[in-house]
Structure 1
Amino acid sequence: MSDALSVMAWSTLGWDGIILLFHPIWLTIARINRAIAMLIFPEQCRAARGLLNWSQENLALAAGVSRSTIKDFEAQRHCLQRSSEKLLVETFDSAGVELLIEGSGRLGVRFKR
């Protein structure tokens, strides 16, 4: 692939003021398109719940969303509404969990330092 073509293939994601780069070699185009709009991924939601030892019901109550919203999101049956997504991110933030997205497209969670 030429350099010009390679550069054109990159996409960006704005998240907490950080610009991250994703390359289609690491992620599929569909995942990149989702990544541009998402603040939290289903894998991160499950991992963050595990870190906090919360059930789907615990998270739903803490965030003020339905359990089925959490269940369907984590099972990747649908994307979250923007307002629900924001509530989840704020809930994890308040509980001391940091959501991580590395430039290579790897996802993670950890307790805030």
Structure 2
Amino acid sequence: MSRALRVGHQMDVADLPIVSLIIRPDARRLREAAIPELMPAHCRAARALLDWTQPQLAEAAGLGLSTVVDFERSRRAVSPEAVQAISRALESADVEFIAENGGGPGVRLKKAKRKAK
């Protein structure tokens, strides 16, 4: 069914094969790909939105206070596992990390779900 394309020959859209592919990506992978790394500024902004203190975040993440403080102040590199724990704690409190969209990555609270009447 394949036709060779000759120089100067115009191909019709009907000559092109139709390929259909449905991809249902894992939401977590998309989120991790969108914001590959939680930045200290994201963490501080998320805490501000939640009105959380550093000790509250440390408790929610299951980490020591010094880990949260050092991460937010960029004093030292904390482990990737600690950063993931911080991210999970904030996300479970309804913080949403926004991917780069031309204006830069950011943080917001998830939209409140309406209760059915």
Same fold? TM cut 0.5 = yes
**SS of equivalent to 1:17:** helix
Structure showing the higher strand proportion among its residues: 1
Structure showing the higher helix proportion among its residues: 1
**SS of equivalent to 1:99:** strand
- CA spacing shift, 1:105–1:47, aligned 2, 3 Å: same
Identity percentage of aligned residues = 37
The count of residues paired between Structure 1 and Structure 2 equals: 83
One-letter identity of the residue aligned with 2:87: V
4+ long deviations beyond 6 Å: none
Q: Residue by residue, what CA displacement relative to the aligned partner does 1:53-92 show, whole Å, maximum 9, x if unpaired?
A: 0000000011100111111111111232111111111111
Q: What's the Cα RMSD here?
A: 2.1
- CA spacing shift, 1:103–1:46, aligned 2, 3 Å: same
- 2:14 equivalent to 1:16: no
Match of 2:55 in 1: 57
Find the aligned partners of 2:77 and 2:103 in 1 and give their Cα distance: 18
Match of 1:26 in 2: none
Match of 1:74 in 2: 72
Match of 1:42 in 2: 40
Who wins on radius of gyration, i.e. which is larger?
A: 2
**SS of equivalent to 2:96:** strand
Q: Which blocks of at least 5 consecutive residues in structure 1 are unaligned?
A: 1-14, 21-34
- CA spacing shift, 1:52–1:83, aligned 2, 3 Å: same
Find the aligned partners of 2:97 and 2:78 in 1 and give their Cα distance: 16
How high is the TM-score relative to the length of structure 1?
0.64
**SS of equivalent to 1:109:** strand
Q: Which blocks of at least 5 consecutive residues in structure 2 are unaligned?
A: 1-27, 112-117
